[in-house]
Structure 1
Amino acid sequence: MYDIITFGSASQDIYVKSKKFFTAGNGICVPPGLKTEVDDLAIFSGGGGTNAAATFANQGFKVAYCGMVGQDPFGRLAVEELKKLKISCDLLKTTGKKSTNISFFLTYPGKDRTILVYRGASDELSRKDIPWAKIKKAKWFYLAPFGGRLASLTGILIDFAKKNGIKIALNPGYNQLTLPVKTLKEILQKIDILILNREEASLLTGIPPQKEKEIFKKIDGLVRGISIMTKGGDGVIVSDGQNLFSAKSLASSLGWKTVDATGAGDAFGSGFVSGFLKSKGDIEYSIQLAMANATFNMLKWGAKDGLLKKNQKWPKIGVLKEACGKEGLCQTKS
């Protein structure tokens, strides 16, 4: 029996740094018809499904990744790393139809990065590829962002989980948040933990991101379980239907300088669920572990290299706890 099975993408993240990149308007540019010097190149594994699995494995859980990679060198690298991290690959499938997912991170001095995404093999996973008999005894499903056609599996997996008594944590991406309204409302009523960032929460509710209180109140009303909204450098808000919890950014509080936000959302979401399982439902501890896991990950390049290990020491951020209804941000649930 697995403690947790993660679903989502597996990819290779390729970082390309060059002083020759320049901007024009809202775009990043390179001179046409010329070879452009690259100052640094680095390759890391990524993908929401495997990033989350790495956290769970690091925290000592029995975890499997259910997804698809290509029959290519990057796919073989992904499998090798999963095995090295002691993540089961028994549920992983390969395909010759498409190459393994790749993201190119173009970085340039004094500016933000630009990401080119190839959604390859991961989007080829279909209902028939999932070994349903092998996953029915898992304790938890963790659904990372699903891209493209993969989003259609969201409701199917959640219905299967509910039928088999499996708890569900959902960290949806754009394609899941833009599913038909009726489908989305049904999904949100069935999950145990919902993890969103502020921009995703704005997309879900149709409320501008500046109206934070209105956004969170609406989300909390849609979700029967725990609602989480991360706010980047401004911290996080969490509701369990009885109390409202909030915390500031750990990096900002300690004055730490982060270098790469890739995988920060995956690190926070999987860190929260790890803390929730380890503490048997202590929200404050779950927030603290999530915040530390995401922060330490952002201190290093790549989506997995900085993730906390099981016995690693880490600083705990202060968490404010208030009863629901006090600020009108959350709703009391039975």
Structure 2
Amino acid sequence: MAEGSGQVAGGHAVTVGSATVDIITIIASRDIERVTMANATASFLLLEEGRKIEAEGITIHPGGGAANTAVCFARLGIPAAPLVKIGRDLNGAKVLESFAREGLSDRLVRYTDELGTGITVMIASHDRNAAVFTFRGANTLIRAGDIPADAFAGASIVHVAGLSNESADQHPDIVRRARKAGAFVSNNPGIRQLTARGEAFFAALSDIDMLSINRIEAEAMLPGLMRHGGPGPCRDHLPDNPPQLMRRGLVGSGFDMPLEAFCRAVHRLGPRYVTVTDGTDGAYLSDAGELWHCPPLKVKVAGTVGAGDAFSATLGAWLMEGRGAESALRAAAANAAAVVAAIDAQSGLLRRTELTRWIEAAPPDFVARRLV
């Protein structure tokens, strides 16, 4: 365990998903054009063919959903072991070096010669919400034989990050075995899991304690929820001064559903906790039907990569420890803000004592509010 982490008593964490090497390029706003659609929320960075663009900096960092969340747990004092697959290459060696530096266990790291270690290349400018090119590589090759019988033995929390290709095929078995081992099971799936493997994902919800998704992923779930019982019950009236997503609801694939009804529909399929993040409009947490909202903690944005991992892991850790929804939301939002204040996914992650100081120093409006 890294020095100063403030290790807490109890079990350990296992994280499942990807480990990557992240190459981050920062380009001055004046050197790259951005186009924002008038009738949509999407923005685009324009790269001119054949033109060399001056960068303010190009740096290399560790990343990937399982790696980021493992570091988050470790800095919060929860020993962590990432279950990842890497290539036998220089980038794989960099991943292992970062694990050793953070005090992570490598007992569940698996190796392959079939594909290289995953790499992402990020281009950030303007508001620093990076465009990402990804080579998933070895991250796609987690197979049943890579998951030992005792993988989750003694774990207090198992966090499953986004999985793709062959690795995604293991998702139902992973959450089933984690639940059987007695762990708190948190899941932050990628949108491809929700669309390409929707039926398998919905069937696995009964083994998940906490589902963590963003607004776009929630909207991708709407067709599946309609096939699995439709919306849950919700109140006819909104609370005073409702946040944007509470007012707007979820809209996608020809369906619309109030946020409260969405959360209750997911609860019905298994998870006690459902959290939906909505970028600068904050995050929502439904605890068995009690819906809470927390605004983001405002910081100067250096990069957005890894914020979702920090939020999910911190929230899961607090809920696993039996802390209430209000405390968990504020801690998760604060740790995510610390990550946003750094360029990469891991260097901003806070240790438990640091996180406490961030929360104590937050402005008065950084308050989690119960909506229903």
**TM-score computed with the length of structure 1 as normaliser:** 0.87
In structure 2, the gaps of 5 or more residues are 1-9, 37-43, 227-244, 251-256
Alignment-derived partner of residue 30 in structure 1 = 48
Alignment-derived partner of residue 289 in structure 1 = 331
Kindly indicate whether the alpha-carbon contact (under 8 Å) linking 2:305 and 2:340 is maintained by their aligned counterparts in 1.
Answer: yes
Kindly indicate whether the alpha-carbon contact (under 8 Å) linking 1:205 and 1:219 is maintained by their aligned counterparts in 2.
Answer: no
Residues 1:112 and 1:232: Cα distance change in structure 2 (over 3 Å)? closer
Q: Deviations over 1:265-300 (max 9, x none)?
A: 00100010122234x232111111100000011101
Alignment-derived partner of residue 15 in structure 2 = 6
Given candidates 269, 274, 277, the residue that maps to 1:230 is 277
Alignment-derived partner of residue 88 in structure 1 = 105
What displacement does 1:112 show?
5.2
Alignment-derived partner of residue 6 in structure 2 = none
Alignment-derived partner of residue 101 in structure 1 = 118
Alignment-derived partner of residue 237 in structure 2 = none
Q: State the distance in 1 between where 2:70 and 2:281 align.
A: 26
Q: Deviations over 1:70-92 (max 9, x none)?
A: 11111111111111111111110
What displacement does 1:136 show?
2.9
Alignment-derived partner of residue 249 in structure 1 = 296
Given candidates 128, 137, 158, the residue that maps to 1:120 is 137
Given candidates 25, 31, 52, the residue that maps to 1:16 is 25
Residues 1:180 and 1:15: Cα distance change in structure 2 (over 3 Å)? closer
Residues 1:178 and 1:31: Cα distance change in structure 2 (over 3 Å)? closer
Q: State the distance in 1 between where 2:128 and 2:312 align.
A: 27
Q: State the distance in 2 between where 1:109 and 1:49 align.
A: 28
1:2-81 equivalent positions in 2, closer than 5 A: 2-18=11-27, 21-22=32-33, 28-32=46-50, 36-81=53-98
Q: State the distance in 1 between where 2:127 and 2:173 align.
A: 44
Given candidates 312, 319, 338, the residue that maps to 1:269 is 312
Alignment-derived partner of residue 137 in structure 1 = 154
Amino acid at match of 1:73: L
Kindly indicate whether the alpha-carbon contact (under 8 Å) linking 2:339 and 2:349 is maintained by their aligned counterparts in 1.
Answer: yes
Q: State the distance in 2 between where 1:94 and 1:28 align.
A: 37
* SS of residue in 1 equivalent to 2:69: helix
Q: State the distance in 1 between where 2:197 and 2:24 align.
A: 35
Does 1:305 pair with 2:354?
A: no
Alignment-derived partner of residue 168 in structure 2 = 151
Residues 1:244 and 1:110: Cα distance change in structure 2 (over 3 Å)? closer
Does 1:239 pair with 2:283?
A: no
Q: State the distance in 2 between where 1:221 and 1:194 align.
A: 12
Question: Could you list the runs of 4 or more consecutive aligned residues of structure 1 that deviate by over 6 angstroms after TM superposition?
Answer: none
RMSD: 2.4
* SS of residue in 1 equivalent to 2:358: coil
Amino acid at match of 1:264: A
Does 1:321 pair with 2:370?
A: yes
What displacement does 1:164 show?
2.7
**TM-score computed with the length of structure 2 as normaliser:** 0.78
* SS of residue in 1 equivalent to 2:291: strand
Aligned residues: 316
Alignment-derived partner of residue 326 in structure 1 = none
Kindly indicate whether the alpha-carbon contact (under 8 Å) linking 1:22 and 1:108 is maintained by their aligned counterparts in 2.
Answer: no
* SS of residue in 1 equivalent to 2:258: helix
